[in-house]
Structure 1
Amino acid sequence: MPTLELLRADHAEALLAFERANREYFARSVPDRGDAFFAEFDAMLHDRLAEQEDGVCHFHVLVDGGGEIVGRINLVDVEEGCATLGYRIAEHATGRGLATAAVADLCRLAAAEYGLRAITAVATRDNDASRTVLERNGFTAVAETTIDARPATRYRRDLSTPTARDQGHPPYA
Protein backbone atom coordinates (compact mmCIF):
# COMPACT_ATOMS: atom_id res chain seq x y z
CA MET A 1 0.00 0.00 0.00
CA PRO A 2 1.59 3.33 -1.07
CA THR A 3 2.32 6.08 1.41
CA LEU A 4 1.90 9.80 0.84
CA GLU A 5 5.21 11.55 1.51
CA LEU A 6 6.28 15.17 1.31
CA LEU A 7 8.74 15.53 -1.56
CA ARG A 8 12.39 15.41 -0.45
CA ALA A 9 15.71 15.62 -2.25
CA ASP A 10 16.30 11.89 -1.76
CA HIS A 11 13.23 11.18 -3.93
CA ALA A 12 15.11 12.56 -6.97
CA GLU A 13 16.13 9.30 -8.66
CA ALA A 14 12.74 7.62 -8.17
CA LEU A 15 10.87 10.77 -9.22
CA LEU A 16 12.85 11.12 -12.43
CA ALA A 17 12.25 7.43 -13.21
CA PHE A 18 8.50 7.92 -12.59
CA GLU A 19 8.34 10.95 -14.90
CA ARG A 20 10.33 9.26 -17.68
CA ALA A 21 8.40 5.98 -17.52
CA ASN A 22 5.03 7.76 -17.70
CA ARG A 23 5.80 10.70 -19.97
CA GLU A 24 3.81 9.47 -22.97
CA TYR A 25 0.95 8.31 -20.78
CA PHE A 26 0.67 11.67 -19.01
CA ALA A 27 0.90 13.61 -22.29
CA ARG A 28 -2.39 12.02 -23.39
CA SER A 29 -4.29 13.96 -20.74
CA VAL A 30 -2.11 16.87 -19.54
CA PRO A 31 0.41 19.13 -21.27
CA ASP A 32 3.81 17.45 -21.75
CA ARG A 33 6.54 18.76 -19.47
CA GLY A 34 8.90 19.15 -22.43
CA ASP A 35 12.49 18.04 -22.93
CA ALA A 36 13.87 20.85 -20.74
CA PHE A 37 12.14 19.33 -17.68
CA PHE A 38 14.21 16.17 -18.07
CA ALA A 39 17.42 17.87 -19.17
CA GLU A 40 17.31 20.28 -16.21
CA PHE A 41 15.67 17.95 -13.70
CA ASP A 42 18.11 18.52 -10.84
CA ALA A 43 17.75 22.30 -11.05
CA MET A 44 13.97 22.00 -11.33
CA LEU A 45 13.81 19.78 -8.25
CA HIS A 46 16.02 22.21 -6.33
CA ASP A 47 13.65 25.05 -7.27
CA ARG A 48 10.54 23.04 -6.29
CA LEU A 49 12.04 22.18 -2.90
CA ALA A 50 12.86 25.87 -2.36
CA GLU A 51 9.25 26.79 -3.16
CA GLN A 52 8.12 24.16 -0.71
CA GLU A 53 10.45 25.51 1.96
CA ASP A 54 8.96 28.98 1.37
CA GLY A 55 5.42 27.59 1.80
CA VAL A 56 4.37 28.56 -1.71
CA CYS A 57 3.77 24.92 -2.69
CA HIS A 58 3.43 21.50 -1.06
CA PHE A 59 4.74 18.67 -3.24
CA HIS A 60 4.00 15.03 -2.41
CA VAL A 61 4.76 11.62 -3.85
CA LEU A 62 3.03 8.26 -3.44
CA VAL A 63 5.69 5.68 -2.68
CA ASP A 64 5.05 1.93 -2.78
CA GLY A 65 6.66 -0.59 -0.43
CA GLY A 66 9.64 -1.04 -2.75
CA GLY A 67 10.49 2.66 -2.92
CA GLU A 68 8.98 3.19 -6.37
CA ILE A 69 7.05 6.42 -6.86
CA VAL A 70 3.62 5.54 -8.25
CA GLY A 71 2.12 9.02 -8.07
CA ARG A 72 2.55 12.71 -7.48
CA ILE A 73 0.04 14.97 -5.79
CA ASN A 74 0.78 18.63 -5.33
CA LEU A 75 -0.68 21.83 -3.96
CA VAL A 76 0.73 24.83 -5.81
CA ASP A 77 0.27 28.58 -5.73
CA VAL A 78 -0.65 28.64 -2.04
CA GLU A 79 -2.09 32.05 -1.30
CA GLU A 80 -4.66 33.43 1.14
CA GLY A 81 -5.76 29.99 2.34
CA CYS A 82 -6.20 28.49 -1.13
CA ALA A 83 -4.09 26.34 -3.43
CA THR A 84 -4.35 24.54 -6.75
CA LEU A 85 -4.29 20.74 -6.80
CA GLY A 86 -2.49 18.64 -9.39
CA TYR A 87 -1.88 14.90 -9.46
CA ARG A 88 -0.50 12.10 -11.63
CA ILE A 89 -0.65 8.35 -11.11
CA ALA A 90 1.67 5.93 -12.92
CA GLU A 91 -0.06 4.13 -15.77
CA HIS A 92 0.54 0.72 -14.22
CA ALA A 93 -1.03 1.86 -10.92
CA THR A 94 -4.28 3.32 -12.28
CA GLY A 95 -7.69 1.83 -11.65
CA ARG A 96 -6.99 0.92 -8.01
CA GLY A 97 -8.39 4.04 -6.35
CA LEU A 98 -4.96 5.50 -5.54
CA ALA A 99 -5.75 8.95 -6.91
CA THR A 100 -9.09 9.12 -5.10
CA ALA A 101 -7.53 8.09 -1.79
CA ALA A 102 -4.50 10.34 -2.22
CA VAL A 103 -6.66 13.38 -2.96
CA ALA A 104 -8.77 12.60 0.13
CA ASP A 105 -5.61 12.35 2.24
CA LEU A 106 -4.21 15.56 0.80
CA CYS A 107 -7.47 17.43 1.46
CA ARG A 108 -7.29 16.41 5.11
CA LEU A 109 -3.61 17.37 5.27
CA ALA A 110 -4.26 20.68 3.52
CA ALA A 111 -6.81 21.70 6.13
CA ALA A 112 -5.10 20.27 9.23
CA GLU A 113 -1.40 20.90 8.53
CA TYR A 114 -1.25 23.61 5.88
CA GLY A 115 -4.18 25.69 7.13
CA LEU A 116 -5.88 25.85 3.75
CA ARG A 117 -9.58 26.65 3.45
CA ALA A 118 -10.12 25.75 -0.21
CA ILE A 119 -8.51 23.91 -3.10
CA THR A 120 -9.09 24.35 -6.82
CA ALA A 121 -8.30 21.94 -9.65
CA VAL A 122 -8.76 21.76 -13.40
CA ALA A 123 -9.45 18.65 -15.47
CA THR A 124 -9.97 18.39 -19.21
CA ARG A 125 -13.47 17.30 -20.17
CA ASP A 126 -12.13 14.17 -21.84
CA ASN A 127 -10.29 13.06 -18.67
CA ASP A 128 -13.17 11.18 -17.05
CA ALA A 129 -10.93 9.47 -14.49
CA SER A 130 -9.59 12.76 -13.12
CA ARG A 131 -13.02 14.37 -13.07
CA THR A 132 -14.36 11.36 -11.14
CA VAL A 133 -11.53 11.61 -8.58
CA LEU A 134 -12.38 15.25 -7.95
CA GLU A 135 -16.12 14.67 -7.71
CA ARG A 136 -15.68 11.72 -5.33
CA ASN A 137 -13.68 14.03 -3.09
CA GLY A 138 -16.31 16.75 -2.85
CA PHE A 139 -15.01 19.08 -5.57
CA THR A 140 -17.71 21.01 -7.41
CA ALA A 141 -17.54 22.29 -10.97
CA VAL A 142 -17.40 26.10 -10.86
CA ALA A 143 -16.35 27.23 -14.36
CA GLU A 144 -15.43 26.13 -17.83
CA THR A 145 -11.89 26.83 -19.01
CA THR A 146 -9.21 25.36 -21.28
CA ILE A 147 -5.87 23.61 -20.90
CA ASP A 148 -3.70 24.02 -24.00
CA ALA A 149 -6.85 24.84 -26.01
CA ARG A 150 -8.61 21.69 -24.75
CA PRO A 151 -11.99 22.20 -23.08
CA ALA A 152 -11.72 21.77 -19.32
CA THR A 153 -13.64 22.29 -16.11
CA ARG A 154 -12.41 24.20 -13.05
CA TYR A 155 -13.37 22.64 -9.72
CA ARG A 156 -13.33 23.93 -6.15
CA ARG A 157 -13.47 22.20 -2.77
CA ASP A 158 -14.28 24.06 0.44
CA LEU A 159 -12.18 22.31 3.08
CA SER A 160 -14.34 23.51 5.95
CA THR A 161 -17.09 21.13 4.81
CA PRO A 162 -16.00 17.52 5.39
CA THR A 163 -17.13 14.86 2.95
CA ALA A 164 -17.99 11.24 3.77
CA ARG A 165 -14.55 10.34 2.41
CA ASP A 166 -12.99 12.60 5.06
CA GLN A 167 -14.75 10.74 7.83
CA GLY A 168 -12.45 7.79 8.53
CA HIS A 169 -12.25 6.43 5.00
CA PRO A 170 -9.36 3.96 4.92
CA PRO A 171 -6.59 5.27 2.67
CA TYR A 172 -5.84 3.49 -0.59
CA ALA A 173 -8.73 1.05 -0.34
Structure 2
Amino acid sequence: MPELQRLRADHVPALLAFEQENRAFFAASVPDRGDDYFAHFDARLAALLAEQAAGICHFHVLVDTDGEVLGRFNLVDAADGSAELGYRVAEKATGRGLATATVRRLCALAAEEYGLTTLRAETTLDNPASQAVLTRAGFVPTGEELLLDGRPGIAYVRSTAGEA
Protein backbone atom coordinates (compact mmCIF):
# COMPACT_ATOMS: atom_id res chain seq x y z
CA MET A 1 0.00 0.00 0.00
CA PRO A 2 1.42 3.41 -0.93
CA GLU A 3 2.37 5.72 1.93
CA LEU A 4 1.95 9.49 2.22
CA GLN A 5 5.22 11.01 3.42
CA ARG A 6 6.21 14.57 4.21
CA LEU A 7 8.61 15.77 1.52
CA ARG A 8 12.29 15.36 2.44
CA ALA A 9 15.54 16.03 0.63
CA ASP A 10 16.11 12.31 0.08
CA HIS A 11 12.96 12.20 -2.09
CA VAL A 12 14.69 14.35 -4.75
CA PRO A 13 15.77 11.60 -7.19
CA ALA A 14 12.42 9.79 -7.10
CA LEU A 15 10.48 13.06 -7.30
CA LEU A 16 12.47 14.24 -10.31
CA ALA A 17 11.89 10.88 -12.03
CA PHE A 18 8.15 11.19 -11.29
CA GLU A 19 7.98 14.68 -12.80
CA GLN A 20 9.99 13.72 -15.90
CA GLU A 21 8.11 10.46 -16.56
CA ASN A 22 4.72 12.16 -16.26
CA ARG A 23 5.51 15.50 -17.87
CA ALA A 24 3.42 14.95 -21.02
CA PHE A 25 0.57 13.39 -19.03
CA PHE A 26 0.42 16.36 -16.64
CA ALA A 27 0.70 18.90 -19.48
CA ALA A 28 -2.54 17.55 -20.94
CA SER A 29 -4.51 18.87 -17.94
CA VAL A 30 -2.32 21.51 -16.26
CA PRO A 31 0.25 23.95 -17.66
CA ASP A 32 3.65 22.41 -18.35
CA ARG A 33 6.32 23.36 -15.83
CA GLY A 34 8.79 24.17 -18.61
CA ASP A 35 12.39 23.16 -19.19
CA ASP A 36 13.71 25.63 -16.59
CA TYR A 37 11.84 23.74 -13.86
CA PHE A 38 13.80 20.58 -14.64
CA ALA A 39 17.12 22.36 -15.20
CA HIS A 40 16.98 23.87 -11.70
CA PHE A 41 15.05 21.12 -9.95
CA ASP A 42 17.43 20.72 -6.98
CA ALA A 43 17.45 24.45 -6.21
CA ARG A 44 13.66 24.68 -6.54
CA LEU A 45 13.20 21.76 -4.19
CA ALA A 46 15.58 23.29 -1.66
CA ALA A 47 13.47 26.47 -1.73
CA LEU A 48 10.29 24.42 -1.21
CA LEU A 49 11.83 22.62 1.75
CA ALA A 50 12.75 26.00 3.25
CA GLU A 51 9.12 27.14 2.88
CA GLN A 52 8.02 23.92 4.53
CA ALA A 53 10.44 24.43 7.42
CA ALA A 54 8.98 27.93 7.89
CA GLY A 55 5.45 26.48 8.05
CA ILE A 56 4.29 28.34 4.94
CA CYS A 57 3.64 25.15 2.99
CA HIS A 58 3.32 21.43 3.66
CA PHE A 59 4.57 19.20 0.85
CA HIS A 60 3.96 15.45 0.62
CA VAL A 61 4.72 12.59 -1.73
CA LEU A 62 2.85 9.33 -2.13
CA VAL A 63 5.43 6.57 -2.41
CA ASP A 64 5.11 2.87 -3.10
CA THR A 65 6.99 0.14 -1.24
CA ASP A 66 9.98 0.55 -3.59
CA GLY A 67 10.23 4.29 -2.90
CA GLU A 68 8.83 5.29 -6.28
CA VAL A 69 6.80 8.51 -6.16
CA LEU A 70 3.22 7.96 -7.32
CA GLY A 71 1.95 11.44 -6.52
CA ARG A 72 2.48 14.86 -4.99
CA PHE A 73 0.00 16.30 -2.49
CA ASN A 74 0.63 19.82 -1.24
CA LEU A 75 -0.87 22.39 1.07
CA VAL A 76 0.44 25.81 0.08
CA ASP A 77 0.09 29.34 1.39
CA ALA A 78 -0.91 28.17 4.85
CA ALA A 79 -2.09 31.15 6.89
CA ASP A 80 -4.92 31.98 9.27
CA GLY A 81 -6.07 28.34 9.42
CA SER A 82 -6.41 27.99 5.66
CA ALA A 83 -4.35 26.57 2.79
CA GLU A 84 -4.61 25.73 -0.90
CA LEU A 85 -4.58 22.04 -1.86
CA GLY A 86 -2.76 20.93 -4.97
CA TYR A 87 -1.98 17.43 -6.19
CA ARG A 88 -0.88 15.37 -9.16
CA VAL A 89 -0.79 11.61 -9.58
CA ALA A 90 1.33 9.54 -11.95
CA GLU A 91 -0.47 8.33 -15.04
CA LYS A 92 0.11 4.70 -14.13
CA ALA A 93 -1.46 5.26 -10.68
CA THR A 94 -4.71 6.83 -11.90
CA GLY A 95 -8.07 5.12 -11.75
CA ARG A 96 -7.31 3.20 -8.56
CA GLY A 97 -8.76 5.59 -5.99
CA LEU A 98 -5.32 6.68 -4.76
CA ALA A 99 -5.94 10.38 -5.36
CA THR A 100 -9.22 10.39 -3.43
CA ALA A 101 -7.85 8.34 -0.54
CA THR A 102 -4.72 10.48 -0.32
CA VAL A 103 -6.61 13.79 -0.49
CA ARG A 104 -8.82 12.53 2.35
CA ARG A 105 -5.72 11.57 4.35
CA LEU A 106 -4.16 14.97 3.70
CA CYS A 107 -7.36 16.70 4.88
CA ALA A 108 -7.03 14.82 8.17
CA LEU A 109 -3.34 15.76 8.43
CA ALA A 110 -4.23 19.38 7.70
CA ALA A 111 -6.39 19.45 10.82
CA GLU A 112 -4.39 17.11 13.08
CA GLU A 113 -0.83 18.17 12.31
CA TYR A 114 -1.03 21.64 10.80
CA GLY A 115 -4.03 23.18 12.57
CA LEU A 116 -5.76 24.08 9.32
CA THR A 117 -9.54 24.46 9.37
CA THR A 118 -10.28 25.32 5.74
CA LEU A 119 -8.81 24.00 2.51
CA ARG A 120 -9.29 25.49 -0.94
CA ALA A 121 -8.68 23.88 -4.32
CA GLU A 122 -9.06 24.81 -7.97
CA THR A 123 -9.34 22.80 -11.15
CA THR A 124 -10.22 23.40 -14.76
CA LEU A 125 -13.71 22.61 -16.01
CA ASP A 126 -12.22 20.17 -18.52
CA ASN A 127 -10.69 18.03 -15.75
CA PRO A 128 -13.61 15.88 -14.55
CA ALA A 129 -11.26 13.43 -12.80
CA SER A 130 -9.95 16.15 -10.50
CA GLN A 131 -13.46 17.45 -9.90
CA ALA A 132 -14.56 13.93 -8.91
CA VAL A 133 -11.62 13.51 -6.52
CA LEU A 134 -12.39 16.80 -4.81
CA THR A 135 -16.10 16.05 -4.52
CA ARG A 136 -15.49 12.54 -3.13
CA ALA A 137 -13.06 14.05 -0.60
CA GLY A 138 -15.70 16.45 0.72
CA PHE A 139 -14.89 19.62 -1.21
CA VAL A 140 -17.79 21.69 -2.50
CA PRO A 141 -17.82 24.16 -5.39
CA THR A 142 -17.80 27.79 -4.29
CA GLY A 143 -19.50 29.08 -7.43
CA GLU A 144 -16.48 31.27 -8.13
CA GLU A 145 -15.59 31.27 -11.82
CA LEU A 146 -11.88 31.21 -12.54
CA LEU A 147 -9.44 31.35 -15.38
CA LEU A 148 -6.54 28.97 -14.82
CA ASP A 149 -3.86 29.76 -17.38
CA GLY A 150 -6.56 30.89 -19.77
CA ARG A 151 -8.85 27.90 -19.20
CA PRO A 152 -12.20 28.13 -17.38
CA GLY A 153 -11.98 26.71 -13.89
CA ILE A 154 -13.88 26.15 -10.69
CA ALA A 155 -12.96 26.79 -7.07
CA TYR A 156 -13.71 24.38 -4.23
CA VAL A 157 -13.60 24.64 -0.44
CA ARG A 158 -13.65 22.14 2.41
CA SER A 159 -13.77 22.49 6.16
CA THR A 160 -11.53 20.20 8.18
CA ALA A 161 -13.63 20.69 11.33
CA GLY A 162 -14.12 17.37 13.07
CA GLU A 163 -11.02 15.83 11.46
CA ALA A 164 -8.70 16.27 14.44
Q: Shorter-chain TM-score category?
A: over 0.9
Given residue 97 of structure 1, which amino acid in structure 2 is its aligned partner? G
Shift of residue 97, structure 1, vs aligned partner = 0.3
- SS across alignment from 2:22: helix
Distance 2:86 2:43 in 1: 21
Shift of residue 31, structure 1, vs aligned partner = 1.1
Q: Which residue of 1 aligns with 2:66?
A: 66
Equivalence map 1:77-156=2 (5 Å): 77-142=77-142, 143-156=144-157
Q: What fraction of aligned residue pairs are identical, expressed as a percent?
A: 59
Q: Which residue of 2 aligns with 1:26?
A: 26
Q: 4+ runs of 1 displaced by more than 4 Å?
A: none
Q: Which residue of 1 aligns with 2:53?
A: 53
Q: Which residue of 1 aligns with 2:37?
A: 37
1:2 aligns with 2:5: no
1:158 aligns with 2:159: yes
TM-score, normalised by the number of residues in structure 2: 0.97
Q: How many residue pairs were aligned? A: 163
Q: Which residue of 2 aligns with 1:171?
A: none
Distance 1:79 1:32 in 2: 27
- Change in Cα spacing, 1:3 to 1:127, as seen in structure 2 (3 Å) is same
Distance 1:141 1:12 in 2: 34
Q: Which residue of 2 aligns with 1:170?
A: none
Shift of residue 146, structure 1, vs aligned partner = 1.2
Given residue 92 of structure 2, which amino acid in structure 1 is its aligned partner? H
Q: Which residue of 2 aligns with 1:75?
A: 75
Shift of residue 159, structure 1, vs aligned partner = 1.0
Given residue 148 of structure 1, which amino acid in structure 2 is its aligned partner? D
TM-score, normalised by the number of residues in structure 1: 0.92
Given residue 56 of structure 2, which amino acid in structure 1 is its aligned partner? V
How big is each residue's C-alpha offset from its partner over 1:63-82, in whole Å with a ceiling of 9 and x where there is no partner?
00111000000000101100
- SS across alignment from 1:55: coil
Distance 2:30 2:72 in 1: 14
The alignment yields a C-alpha RMSD, in angstroms, of 1.1
Structure 2 residue runs without a partner (length 5+): none
Shift of residue 158, structure 1, vs aligned partner = 1.0
Distance 2:155 2:45 in 1: 27
Shift of residue 87, structure 1, vs aligned partner = 0.4
